[in-house]
Structure 1
Amino acid sequence: MRDFSWQYFSLTGDVDAYLLYKEINMDSVSDETDEDLNDESEDTLQ
């Protein structure tokens, strides 16, 4: 979905497509950060 919204934005210049891309990108970065934090906390518990 992220690639599609970026391609659509690059072809049309549609601001809503760019905002969707940014939102999806921020969610994926947030999820990766959460997973890293969970992995680190599990390591310290062992």
Structure 2
Amino acid sequence: MALDNNDAHGFFAAIDGQIVTGPTLTNVNDFRAMLVLPPEWAGWS
């Protein structure tokens, strides 16, 4: 069930297979990007 819900945390917790490292103090996962296209590009292919 956990894998069907894309819940790796729940899956590994249920089988006692988690490795909890805590905060890494890196900004690896702090970056988000968003691409905004003009409306006239909506139909390009």
Larger-gyration structure (1/2): 2
What TM bracket, shorter-length normalisation?
A: under 0.3
Higher relative contact order (CA 8 A, sep 6+): 1
